[in-house]
Amino acid sequence: MYIFGLKLNGVAVDVKVIKILRAVNSRDSISEIKRKIQQNDFIYTCSCTDYQGISMMLSIFYQLQKQKVSLEIYEKDGDNLRLTTTDFLKNLLNSYSEIYRYMGRIMHKETEA
């Protein structure tokens, strides 16, 4: 499964960070968030085709960046892990939006015929 993941770089557990992460992901307990930070696990993941998940990841990234938190976004495919950028994710979202609009036009044309 191909996913995107967000990791913090050498960040001590901070109340501001936990507050931001709890606001967007209330299913994880505070202790689970702390564990992920301490063990350098992904603090947020989403499928590469999840438009809302990617949007949320960018939102988290920018909120944490404002707090001067060092973090990175990764692409993960099985055991392969590589860094990616916010520009790549923004371009991907733009592509998904274009595809959605195009499919809408096609479907509209088919209903008119």
* Structural domain harbouring 43: 2-112
Cβ 45 vs Cβ 6: under 8 Å: yes
Take residue 99 and report the two structure tokens written for it. 């595809």
Domain count, the chain: 1
CB atoms within 10 A of CB 50: 15
pLDDT at 72: 96
Query: Is residue 73 predicted with pLDDT exceeding 90?
Result: yes
The predicted-structure confidence for 30-54, as pLDDT tens digits, reads as follows: 899 999 988 999 999 999 999 999 9
Query: Is residue 113 predicted with pLDDT exceeding 80?
Result: no
Q: Which of 36-50, 52-66, 94-108 has the lowest mean pLDDT?
A: 94-108
Give the whole-angstrom CA distance, residue 46 versus residue 56.
9
CA distances 5 to 16, 33, 42, 63, Å, are 20, 14, 6, 16
pLDDT at 100: 84
CB atoms within 10 A of CB 13: 14
The reported pTM is 0.85
Give the whole-angstrom CA distance, residue 60 versus residue 76.
18
Cβ 32 vs Cβ 44: under 8 Å: no
Query: Is residue 57 predicted with pLDDT exceeding 90?
Result: yes
Q: Report the mean per-residue pLDDT for the chain.
A: 90
The predicted-structure confidence for 1-24, as pLDDT tens digits, reads as follows: 799 999 998 777 788 888 999 888
